[in-house]
Amino acid sequence: MLEVRGIHAAYGAVRALEDVSLSVGAGEIVCLLGANGAGKTTTLNCISGIVPVTQGRILFEGEEVTSERVDWLVARGIVQVPEGREIFPGLSTQDNLELGAWTRRRHNGRAAGLERVYELFPRLKERAAQRAGTLSGGEQQMLMIGRALMAQPRLLMFDEPSLGLSPILVQQVFRIIRRLHEEGMTILLVEQNARMALEVSARGYILENGEVKLHGEAGSLATDPQVREAYLGA
Amino acid sequence: MSLVLQGVASGVVTGCVYALVALSLVIVYKATDVVNFAGGELVMIGAYLGLLLLLWFQLPYIAMFALVPVAVFAVGALFDRITLRKVGGRALAKHVDLVSFVVATIGLSYLLKGAVRVVPFTEEVRRLPPLFSGPPVFIGDVVLQRQDLAIIAVTTMIMLALWLFFERTLLGKALRATSQNARAAALVGVPVSAMRMAVWGLASAIAGIAGVLLAPKLLMTPDMGAVVMLAFAAAIIGGFSSLPGCVVGGIALGVIQNLVGIFISPQAIAVTPFFVIMLVLLFRPEGLFGESLALKKV
């Protein structure tokens, strides 16, 4: 479904990605692991159209989407759940969700989408009228996932969804990811928590200094001695 | 007593105009972090466009009143599209040099003033006819011109429309979302640069309407944009981030000016706004409606 072929990216003179290739099949969960600064977020941002690709190609459902505009890509179904608390703090929870469906604003089924998000995250329904800035960290993470779902994604990309959350909330986030996968969603997952990421994923890629160092089945990565030492702390 | 009441009533009227211009400044500031020093010239250009449409094209008043905001919307939107987007580069860059944006707005103010000066039509000092003419209206002891009532009515309608737009429509919410978190707005697929353009257009249109409302009360000159200082004062009283704050700030300033004129001296009117700005910055720098500065985004 998604095919990244040898992309390069740079911030000014600093190279961020070099010849990164990866693919995600329809309905698959693939994780992208690596240390801080390895280029994981940059890879997602290249796919999302936020960071320009200087070389290489990105194909989505067989179609060239390299360096397309963000809004076009979201409408096409490539949606990112960004890292951190990227919400609209002064708008209500419900308004945040409804803006998630911005690219679907002329389509029907927005109300159904909202119902579905509230069913996945009953907590958000309780907080519907509350200003999003007053939600707890965990609720804000749920809100970002819900907002991304409102766009009816075909490929959902998570950037460090467990960052800064308590262990219980991390479990909850991964439960949601697993559930979305079971319902057929295609997922590209960037995580620092390599253990949990490899548990839910079918395959994984390991980035180091902007290059793909290793890739393979999640099971074999989890038992690879190098990976175990560097990322699993074993 | 009736003198004071009269002063308050006329203060509310001029305050409405300050409030409109302040709204224009604050809408741009909230959405783009740019302080628009051309705000006053957008008022001026609105007034002169009105004059041009009425006297040159002989349009009926109502058509002029509908066309001016459209034209000034285009001026603001094009300024953003042509200048600011070039100056700023990529809309989502993390570090944008705001100084160059602000300098660009100063450039726009000189451009507009210069453009009006070279039009031969503007050599003669003229006065824009009022929206409604006729004998003044008495409310108790207070006398108001019909134009004054029109100013209050139009200002109220614009405020109501803005409130409905920002609170009730998806586009209005998308504009607010863009000003609160441009990156997140881009990620949900909101076209951020188009939104910025729309904000510039909208804010300019409001300034243009303020020009048409204000011009009948003054002599028109290319320097009438100086009214922007009063709008800055009004916006600062309101905290420079709150739309209701602009309205309250504008009206308060209009009333204070008139009371200063009555009780202290008419010469003191001119310094009043600066004095008010100083007092607000000294004792309540976040303004009456602004969020506490400590809570501002870090």
Are the Cβ atoms of B191 and A151 closer than 8 angstroms?
Answer: no
What's the whole-number mean pLDDT along residues B119-124?
74
Domain residues of chain B, as ranges? 13-224
pLDDT, tens digit (0-9, with 9 covering 90-100), for A63-96? 999 989 999 999 999 999 999 889 999 999 999 9
Distance CA B178, CA B192 (A): 7
Dmax (CA) for chain A in angstroms is: 51
- Are the C-beta atoms of A95 and B181 separated by less than 8 Å? no
∠ CA B256-B262-B263 to the nearest 5 degrees? 85
pLDDT band, very low/low/confident/very high, at A193 (cuts 50, 70, 90): confident
What's the whole-number mean pLDDT along residues A204-210?
92
* Token pair listed for A159: 């950037």
| pLDDT score of A27 more than 80 | yes
Phi/psi of residue A124, nearest 5 degrees: -65, -30
pLDDT band, very low/low/confident/very high, at A36 (cuts 50, 70, 90): confident
Phi/psi of residue B7, nearest 5 degrees: -60, -40
Dmax (CA) for chain B in angstroms is: 59
What's the whole-number mean pLDDT along residues A208-215?
91
pLDDT, tens digit (0-9, with 9 covering 90-100), for A3-18? 999 999 998 888 899 9
Distance CA B157, CA B249 (A): 18
From chain A, pick out residues whose CB is under 8 angstroms from the CB of B180. Answer: 88-91
| pLDDT score of B94 more than 70 | no
- Are the C-beta atoms of B16 and B252 separated by less than 8 Å? no
Q: Among A73, A61, A66, A63, which residue's Cα sits nearest to residue A26?
A: A61
| pLDDT score of A190 more than 90 | yes
DSSP state of B143: E
pLDDT, tens digit (0-9, with 9 covering 90-100), for A97-130? 999 999 988 887 778 889 999 999 999 999 999 9
pLDDT, tens digit (0-9, with 9 covering 90-100), for B190-212? 999 899 999 999 999 999 999 99
Are the Cβ atoms of B185 and A99 closer than 8 angstroms?
Answer: yes
Distance CA B237, CA B231 (A): 10
| pLDDT score of B92 more than 70 | no
More confident residue, B295 or A73: A73
What's the whole-number mean pLDDT along residues A167-190?
94
**Could you tell me where the beta strands, DSSP code E, fall in chain B?**
137-139, 142-144
Q: Which candidate from A70, A91, A151 shows the least CB-CB separation from B177?
A: A91
What's the whole-number mean pLDDT along residues A20-49?
93
Q: Among B265, B264, B13, B250, which residue's Cα sits nearest to residue B139?
A: B13
pLDDT, tens digit (0-9, with 9 covering 90-100), for B148-160? 999 999 999 999 9
| pLDDT score of A219 more than 90 | no
Q: What is the pLDDT of residue A129?
A: 94
Q: Which candidate from A71, A88, A105 shows the least CB-CB separation from B184?
A: A88
Distance CA A188, CA B41 (A): 51
Q: What is the pLDDT of residue B89?
A: 58
From chain A, pick out residues whose CB is under 8 angstroms from the CB of B189. Answer: 70-71, 73-75, 102-103, 151
Q: What is the pLDDT of residue B91?
A: 46
Q: A145: distance to nearest CA of chain B, Å?
A: 11
**How many CA atoms lie within 13 Å of A90's alpha carbon, on the beta-carbon side?**
19
From chain A, pick out residues whose CB is under 8 angstroms from the CB of B187. Answer: 48, 50, 70, 74, 79-80, 82, 86
Q: What is the pLDDT of residue B291?
A: 59
The 3-class SS string of chain A reads: CEEEEEEEEEECCEEEEEEEEEEECCCCEEEEEECCCCCHHHHHHHHHCCCCCCEEEEEECCEECCCCCHHHHHHHCEEEECCCCCCCCCCEHHHHHHHHCHHHCCCCCHHHHHHHHHHHCHHHHHCCCCEHHHCCHHHHHHHHHHHHHHCCCCEEEEECCCCCCCHHHHHHHHHHHHHHHHCCCEEEEECCCHHHHHHHCCEEEEEECCEEEEEEEHHHHHHCHHHHHHHCCC
The chain A residues in contact with chain B (CB within 8 A) are 48, 50, 69-71, 73-75, 79-80, 82, 86-91, 95-96, 98-100, 102-103, 105, 147-148, 151
Specify the range with the lowest mean pLDDT, choosing from A49-58, A195-204, B117-126, B247-256.
B117-126
Q: What percent of chain B has pLDDT over 70?
A: 93
pLDDT, tens digit (0-9, with 9 covering 90-100), for B128-149? 888 787 888 888 888 888 889 9
Residue with tokens 């972090």: B33
Q: What is the pLDDT of residue B296?
A: 41
Are the Cβ atoms of B190 and A89 closer than 8 angstroms?
Answer: no
From chain B, pick out residues whose CB is under 8 angstroms from the CB of A149. Answer: none
Q: What is the pLDDT of residue A234?
A: 59
From chain A, pick out residues whose CB is under 8 angstroms from the CB of B170. Answer: 98-99, 102, 105
From chain B, pick out residues whose CB is under 8 angstroms from the CB of A88. Answer: 176-177, 180-181, 184-185
From chain A, pick out residues whose CB is under 8 angstroms from the CB of B181. Answer: 86-89
Q: A222: distance to nearest CA of chain B, Å?
A: 32
| pLDDT score of B118 more than 80 | yes
Cβ count near B281 (within 10 Å): 12
The 3-class SS string of B56-76 reads: HCCCCHHHHHHHHHHHHHHHH
Distance CA B184, CA A169 (A): 22
Q: What is the pLDDT of residue B298?
A: 33
Among A99, A144, A150, most B C-beta atoms within 10 A, so best to mutate, is A99
Cβ count near A14 (within 10 Å): 7
Count chain A–chain B contacts defined by CB atoms under 8 A: 68
- Are the C-beta atoms of A124 and A139 separated by less than 8 Å? yes
Are the Cβ atoms of A91 and B176 closer than 8 angstroms?
Answer: yes
Among B95, B179, B188, B295, most A C-beta atoms within 10 A, so best to mutate, is B188
| pLDDT score of B125 more than 80 | no
Residue B49, helix vs strand vs coil: helix
Residue-averaged pLDDT of chain B = 88
Q: Among A29, A157, A9, A185, which residue's Cα sits nearest to residue A83?
A: A157
Are the Cβ atoms of A82 and B180 closer than 8 angstroms?
Answer: no
Q: A213: distance to nearest CA of chain B, Å?
A: 28
pLDDT band, very low/low/confident/very high, at B95 (cuts 50, 70, 90): low
